[in-house]
Amino acid sequence: MSTRHELILTCPKGLEGLLRDEALGLGLEEVREQTAAIRGVAELEVAYRLCLWSRLANRVLLVLARFPVADAQALYDGVRAVDWSEHLAADGSLAVEFSGRGSGIDNTHFGALKVKDAIVDALRRPDGTRPGIDKLNPDLRVHLRLDKGQAVLSLDLSGHSLHQRGYRLQQGAAPLKENLAAAILLRAAWPRIAAEGGALTDPMCGVGTFLVEGAMMAADIAPNLKRERWGFSAWLGHVPALWARLHAEAQARAEAGLARTPLWIRGYEADPRLIQPARNNIERAGLAEWVKIYQGEVATFAPRPDQNQKGLVICNPPYGERLGDEASLLYLYQSLGERLRQACEGWEAGVFTAAPELGKRMGIRSHKQYAFWNGALPCKLLLLRVTPDQFVIGAKAAETTASEPVSEVRLSEGGQMFANRLQKNLRQLGKWAARTGVECYRLYDADMPEYALAVDLYRDWVHVQEYAPPRSIDPQKAQERLLDALAAIPQALNIPRERIVVKRRERQSGTRQYERQSSQGQFLEVAEGGVKLLVNLTDYLDTGLFLDHRPLRLRIQREAAGKRFLNLFCYTATATVHAAKGGARSTTSVDLSRTYLDWARRNLALNGFSERQRLEQGDVMAWLAEDRGEYELIFIDPPTFSNSKRMEGVFDVQRDHVALLDLAMARLAAGGTLYFSNNFRKFALDEGLAARYRVEEISASTLDEDFRRNPRIHRAWKFQAR
């Protein structure tokens, strides 16, 4: 066998240049880059060293042959032409990995089967002995890559991917692979900082991957030193004595490194559930003396081991995938920037993110950026120097002055415009709210079209709904405006960031508007017209209190005395609470959702009402068809569209409102009043209803000051018998 081999090292996309430099340092020659891989030539010793020491590669492949493939038979013949007796015993085990397509081979399973057949047929003995298949721990793992009619046949010397170091048996929700974490540390110049005696800290460390990889670099520990089984362990070309010497050298280097005074390496994690898994990972890596993990929030992060110590802050903040993540993530990045400025001046920092627009909101200018891929997700590493001249406003550079605390997030031009509008509205509506005793009201409702938000105040909380932008708006521009607005809200309203909740409101289908968005289960008690109500700002798209219906609820309270009240599509029964407060003789509330009826029960109980208040679960149309009660006051606020497994068919307010109103009017007592409202913007009341009933549109009188600038928020009618 030749003493020099062609080697291919695979890696995550974007790491090719780093891997090239690393492999050159480990002895690989004639190195060339390809997509997600490099190739070169070297002796077997270098191949072993690459397996042991590469912090970036996924696999080390030793090329056995390259040959053209015109069809499946040519593939079989090319594989069988290799002298497999030099690599695998006839009674050994085999696994085949096949990638690529072409030459009539468009199924990877079929391609792998042809490769396997060729190897088995080449080694089959007259007595029938032949290699078996073992996909988990084979004696030999063969890889064939087919590309544009050319086959590259290789042995996988690494076995399992080299990023699997063996220490990380427990991980968080979105972990970085170990070799990607190592690449980020290399780009952030951690080896230089470590050589200078610098510290390493991660304020959002998860299960500690950055910290373990950084400690192994600083202590000169080969990343796969503890791996026991390799792809070459049972390969007939393996040279155990050569491997033993290289492994012993690496072991000696690790012992010498660990004997040095440990660098200051610390991690902080807000989630208490991840602390012990992180410590377990560190213990398995043999780095318990070097790496320490503590529970702590970003807002209190202060890494200084002493006033003179400098180092590297490295972190991978969450990117955000759920409804309403924009606000929490914006404020998280802002808090990170504030803590870096306050506690880490003179340090270097690396922030790895798939949302670089959020990275700009830290208030520190990045001096360099690197593109990476985290799986299929494009990401950037933002490198920062935490010095006063790096502080920025929003996404644009600005100077600081001695009179301005640099920890304060200053706003972009658009953000300041938005803040000014909020403050103007607050001055006007705040006086009205204080005068009328209103605690919850709409402060802003897309007043400036480019900032398409609704901002509602719930006492000292802010509930923000982002209207989904039309397709004609550039999504990146819409995202920038949203972040500008969210940055402005805490400062304009002087409300802590943690009391701001953001959701996106889009056209809803079915029951999506009632679906759970979160599961925090936190209720806030608010007051309205002398009653107390429970709202939940986080768990659902709506909060449990429709602010625009405040005048209608107060009207019902004024008119309810001595009357039997029926609330259809009652939701959380806020109108029922008002009716009971107004002295209703009895109340009946109907809704299909058990969740909201339970909420209704709590609203009633909060005000001391329970005994005479009837809560009915059911499809409103079916319930009305069966009910024989009479009611002097009825309120109907149906959804635009609804379907459920518990109801027959689908409810559509435009199509079904005539049938709904006829059923409800049949239950209206003589001299009674029915109020009907809905928020479907294109709704048109059927003209035939006016022929049967006295109908009066009362929309204008059912809007308070906070909704006057959006008169189409709902339409309302008063129905009485002729």
Higher pLDDT, 359 or 676: 676
> Does some domain include residue 519?
no
- 615 and 668 assigned to the same domain: yes
Q: How far is CA 123 from CA 95, 110, 120, 131, 140, in A?
A: 15, 20, 5, 7, 13
Burial-class residue 584 by CB neighbours within 10 Å (0-12, 13-18, 19+). Answer: buried
| Two tokens, residue 703 | 């809007």
613: which strand partners? Answer: 587
pLDDT at position 455 over 50: yes
- 352 and 466 assigned to the same domain: no
Per-residue pLDDT tens over the stretch 316-372: 998 765 434 666 788 889 889 989 998 999 999 999 998 888 888 888 889 999 999
Q: Provide mean pLDDT across the span 472-486.
A: 86
- 428 and 554 assigned to the same domain: no
**Residues sharing a CB contact under 8 Å with residue 201, sequence separation 6 or more, in sequence order:** 264, 265, 266, 267, 268, 303, 311, 312, 313, 314
> Does some domain include residue 167?
no
Residue owning tokens 């050994």: 92
What's the distance, CA 688 to chain centroid?
51
Of 156, 190, 208, the residue that ends a domain is: 156
pLDDT at position 403 over 80: no
Neighbours of 470 (CB within 10 A): 8
- 186 and 151 assigned to the same domain: no
Closest CA to 48 of 239, 248, 243: 243
371: which strand partners? Answer: 380
What is the rounded CA–CA span in Å between residue 422 and residue 416?
10
Q: Could you give the count of Cα atoms lying within 13 Å of 237 in the half-sphere of its Cβ?
A: 23
CB 338 within 8 A of CB 365: no
CB 350 within 8 A of CB 384: yes
| Two tokens, residue 526 | 């608010």
Neighbours of 210 (CB within 10 A): 30
Q: Rounded to the nearest 5 degrees, what angle is found at the Cα of 200, between the Cα atoms of 179 and 375?
A: 25
Report residue 409's pLDDT band, with 50, 70 and 90 as the boundaries. low
- 464 and 562 assigned to the same domain: no
- 17 and 62 assigned to the same domain: yes
- 357 and 442 assigned to the same domain: no
The CATH number linked to 417 is: 3.30.750.80
Closest CA to 138 of 233, 58, 48, 218: 233
What is the rounded CA–CA span in Å between residue 457 and residue 440?
5
- 22 and 87 assigned to the same domain: yes
Full domain range(s) for residue 605: 532-721
Per-residue pLDDT tens over the stretch 357-398: 888 888 888 999 999 999 889 999 999 999 876 555 443 333
The CATH number linked to 145 is: 3.30.2130.30
> Does some domain include residue 598?
yes
- 140 and 275 assigned to the same domain: no
- 377 and 425 assigned to the same domain: no
Of 336, 368, 397, the residue that ends a domain is: 397
CB 631 within 8 A of CB 669: yes
Q: What is the pLDDT of residue 505?
A: 63
Least confident of 32-41, 143-152, 458-467, 501-510: 501-510
pLDDT at position 608 over 80: yes
What's the distance, CA 471 to chain centroid?
23
Q: What is the pLDDT of residue 175?
A: 76
What is the rounded CA–CA span in Å between residue 396 and residue 405?
17
CB 681 within 8 A of CB 528: no
Per-residue pLDDT tens over the stretch 177-186: 999 999 999 9
Q: What is the pLDDT of residue 479?
A: 84
Report residue 710's pLDDT band, with 50, 70 and 90 as the boundaries. confident
Of 334, 364, 397, the residue that ends a domain is: 397
Q: How far is CA 442 from CA 297, 399, 496, 703, in A?
A: 32, 36, 18, 11
Least confident of 147-151, 538-542, 613-617: 538-542
Q: Provide mean pLDDT across the span 42-66.
A: 98
Q: What is the pLDDT of residue 326?
A: 64
Least confident of 411-415, 551-555, 624-628: 411-415
CB 391 within 8 A of CB 400: yes
Per cent of the chain over pLDDT 70 is 92
> Does some domain include residue 172?
no
Q: Provide mean pLDDT across the span 92-119.
A: 95
> Does some domain include residue 518?
no
Per-residue pLDDT tens over the stretch 564-579: 999 999 999 999 999 9
Q: What is the pLDDT of residue 164?
A: 95
Residue 679 carries which side chain, given as an amino acid letter?
N
Kindly provide the residue ranges of all beta strands, DSSP E only, lying in 386-460, ordered along the sequence: 392-393, 396-397, 440-445, 453-458
Number of separate domains in the chain: 4
Length of the chain in terms of residues written: 722
> Does some domain include residue 524?
no
Residue 395 carries which side chain, given as an amino acid letter?
A
Per-residue pLDDT tens over the stretch 212-257: 999 999 999 999 999 999 999 999 999 999 999 999 999 999 999 9
Q: What is the pLDDT of residue 646?
A: 55
Kindly provide the residue ranges of all beta strands, DSSP E only, lying in 417-484, ordered along the sequence: 440-445, 453-458, 461-467
Residue 161 carries which side chain, given as an amino acid letter?
S
- 576 and 675 assigned to the same domain: yes
> Does some domain include residue 232?
no
- 463 and 357 assigned to the same domain: no
The CATH number linked to 707 is: 3.40.50.150
Per-residue pLDDT tens over the stretch 626-654: 999 999 999 999 999 887 655 567 899 99
| Two tokens, residue 11 | 């890696």
Q: What is the pLDDT of residue 650?
A: 85
> Does some domain include residue 480?
yes
